[in-house]
Amino acid sequence: MSFLLMSLSGCVSPTKPLPVIQTQSILPPEGLIVPCYKPTINGTWPAVVTEDIPRLKSALAECAAQADEYLKWRTQGSPQ
């Protein structure tokens, strides 16, 4: 009888609990993604339009830099 009890003692050992998996969404830091500046276009004839072009190019470059920073951040944070 004692042999039977000793052989069944392995069945009484506690089981290990399964790990709980949680998913977290991580958003970009506040201020990284902001609306792009849109300069007004005053030109109604070619001479004035040439004054607007540098401002438009500057605004586009700033907005593109924001998008590039965000994309770089996403690549660094994603698992490879």
Would you state the pLDDT for residue 63? 86
Residue 38 lies in a domain: yes
Residue 23 lies in a domain: no
Residue 9 lies in a domain: no
Domain that holds residue 69: 31-79
Residue 49 lies in a domain: yes
Alpha carbons within 13 A on the beta-carbon side of 68: 6
Would you state the pLDDT for residue 9? 57
Would you state the pLDDT for residue 80? 47
Report if pTM > 0.85. Answer: no
Residue 58 lies in a domain: yes
Would you state the pLDDT for residue 48? 78
* Mean pLDDT in order along the chain per 10 residues (80 residues): 57 77 80 75 78 87 86 70
Residue 78: name the closest of 42, 28, 6 by CA. 28
Residue 17 lies in a domain: no
Would you state the pLDDT for residue 1? 58
Residue 44 lies in a domain: yes
Residue 10 lies in a domain: no
Task: State how many domains the chain has.
Answer: 1
